[in-house]
Amino acid sequence: MENEAITAYRQRRAAFEATFERHLAAGVVFYSADGILIDDTVEIAPGAVILPGTILRGETKIGAGSVIGPNSLLENVTVGENVKFNASQGYDSVIESGAAIGPFAHIRPDSRVCENVHIGDFVEIKNSTVGKGTSVSHLTYVGDSDVGKYCNFGCGVVTVNYDGAAKHRNTIGDYAFIGCNTNLVAPVSVGDGAYTAAGSTITDDVPAGALGIARARQVNKPQWAKGKLEKFIAKQQAKEEAGSK
């Protein structure tokens, strides 16, 4: 008598193969079925490409010309046309046409990534709208924020949205430029065309067209490191001499 687990596996496998073949016959492109899992509730337009290691769950919808994968997971996500979604995960969100996501991005619930947005590696978007043409290229957290169109986020930007008791929202206007390693302590607003200087912790609104700078001035102390370097070199020389005996 067959083991129940084996029977259940075979049933799941048969259901998947039927779903896979249905999409294949409809014009969806698969180069391999390796690691691909697709719920029968998923909708995929003809001409979309599903690469190995992709998992599509729930009410996910994929538009024509989009390339999903490899090694990606989408659950209840609506994806527009000609989207590239590479080695990333997304949940309960909308990704509009022409967007490029990944690798290693995380689109958390209640987010909208608008047309032609670039979300790069190690970027997390949560409960936020990212406006048309905006670039968030690497190592950034955008949470509980409304971001305008054609903005640029430098590396290491963080929206500081949680004060330990409640979440707060940030608003970033169109064409804003957020410098590397900027912290935006919510609730703050960065106006249209405004800049934040790299390394700033922004706690007050930055008006449209302004530059927000929130960091200490650099102080150089001449010869401060000289004594430390001399001690380090002497210590290394002593180790080398001891090792040669």
Residues 207-218 have pLDDT tens digits of 999 999 999 999
Mean predicted lDDT score pLDDT of the chain: 96
As a whole number of angstroms, the distance between CA 82 and CA 128 comes to 22
124's tokens: 């997390």
User: Catalytic residue among 106, 118, 138, 168, which?
Assistant: 138
Binned at pLDDT 50, 70 and 90, residue 36 comes out as very high
How would you write 165-177 as a 3-class SS string?
A: CCECCEEECCCCE
Which residues lie below 8 Å from residue 40, measured CB to CB, with a gap of 6+? 15, 18, 19
Residue 70 confidence (pLDDT): 98
Rounded percentage of the chain residues whose pLDDT exceeds 90: 88
Phi, psi of 233 (to 5 degrees): -65, -45
pLDDT by residue (tens digit) across 223-242? 999 999 999 999 999 888 88
Question: Per mean pLDDT, which range of 23-27, 91-95, 223-227 is the poorest?
Answer: 223-227
Q: Note if 138 is an active site residue.
A: yes
As a whole number of angstroms, the distance between CA 132 and CA 118 comes to 9
As a whole number of angstroms, the distance between CA 38 and CA 51 comes to 12
Residue 4 confidence (pLDDT): 86
pLDDT by residue (tens digit) across 109-137? 999 999 999 999 999 999 999 999 999 99
pLDDT by residue (tens digit) across 37-90? 999 999 999 999 999 999 999 999 999 999 999 999 999 999 999 999 999 999
Give the class (CATH, top level) of 4-244. mainly beta
In a 10 Å sphere around its CB, with 0-12 CB exposed, 13-18 middle and 19+ buried, how is residue 44 labelled? buried
Residue 2 confidence (pLDDT): 66
pLDDT beyond 80 at 1: no
3-state secondary structure of 189: strand
**Spatial contact of 208 and 227, defined as CB atoms under 8 Å apart:** no
As a whole number of angstroms, the distance between CA 21 and CA 15 comes to 10
181's tokens: 């390693």
Q: What DSSP state is assigned to residue 215?
A: S
Question: Per mean pLDDT, which range of 15-29, 40-54, 151-165, 190-204 is the poorest?
Answer: 15-29
Residue 245 confidence (pLDDT): 66
Q: What is the pTM of this model?
A: 0.92
In a 10 Å sphere around its CB, with 0-12 CB exposed, 13-18 middle and 19+ buried, how is residue 156 labelled? middle
Residue 137 confidence (pLDDT): 97
